[in-house]
Amino acid sequence: MDNASSTNAEFWQMTFEDLAELVLRNEQFSMRPIAMQVLADRAQAESENLSILANALEDLDPSTRRRAARTLAFCGQSARSLLPLVCQLLRSDTIWTVREAAASAIKHICWPAPALDSSDEIPLQLVESVLLDRESLVREACVHALKACLKDPSMAESVTATIWRRLEGGMQHPHASRRCRAVSALCDLMNQDPTVVARCIAQGLRDSHWKVRRTTVQRLADRPNLVFSQSGRRFILPELIKRRFDQNGIVQKATIETVQKLQASCQSRKVEMVLKGLTVHPSPFSALSFVLHQFELSETGETELRQICQRRLKWQADTL
């Protein structure tokens, strides 16, 4: 028997209480990942042991709470009875690493196992954390859970619709930081409903606050599939072109950097030429002339773009 198998066997021979103490509370334990998996396997095999993990979720030590949540992620759907406690951690724990572990646990407990009911309580809790949590890694973990939720074929359409409605509502929030979080989440969820996402991204590119416009532009840099999709060409690309002439220099710079990154991924020669033209034409009117000859904008889009160029030109003259 090799060392790993021998160690694994030792963990199985320990009492569940002793193993839980070792995994959850021993700060100097180097074999924690292996032991945590054994702890989760034993909790699944002996459901009465879940009560020990439930108590650990409410421990005063944040490290214990975090490790308990990580163990429950290994337990999967066997830990569904503890979802209320895990959701409470995500909602109100003061330590962000605990909230991140809770979000990951929710994902693995709920999905890809079929939904047991059509309740929207857990998905909406994830959306709330995406919009409200101040820590980016917590929001990222919640987005991963939402991806799994939206892919679940057993999830009720009403729940899915509510998720999108809440995220779209985040784009209307009076605080720019909330709108930035909403647009970031929508970019990450782009494959779930491209049309809804494209409309919201276009809205972010038109936002009144420069930070929201910059965030939206930057999030598009590594998403050529979204920008050049049918919905992206219709809603996103015309707005991205306009940001090249944004009155805020930071947004302009971010747009040029994004366009240059998109160029490398572009499959369409025509769009590639447009993107290249936007980076080399310093004058709004020369860039506009190039774009209109290469890229078919709708009549409304062309009019709006002309107006933006005219305003930009006037602004440049006023500041000389």
Distances (CA, A) of 129 to 25, 96, 120, 194, 227: 28, 11, 14, 22, 27
Helices (H), the chain: 3-13, 16-25, 32-45, 50-57, 62-75, 83-92, 96-110, 121-132, 136-151, 157-170, 176-188, 194-205, 210-219, 224-227, 230-231, 237-243, 249-265, 269-280, 284-294, 299-319
pLDDT value for 275: 65
CATH topology of domain 1-110: Leucine-rich Repeat Variant (1.25.10)
Sign of CA dihedral 265, 268, 269, 275: negative
pLDDT band for 156, please (50, 70, 90 cuts): confident
Contact, 4 vs 44, CB < 8 A? no
For 59, list phi and psi in degrees, rounded to 5: -65, 150
**How far is the C-alpha of 140 from the C-alpha of 122, rounded, in Å?**
16
pTM of the entire predicted model: 0.80
How large a percentage of the chain has pLDDT more than 90? Answer: 51
> Quick one: pLDDT at residue 172?
94
Where are the chain's structural domains? 1-110
Q: For residue range 179-197, list pLDDT tens digits in order.
A: 999 999 999 887 777 788 8
The mean per-residue pLDDT over the stretch 209-227 comes to: 93
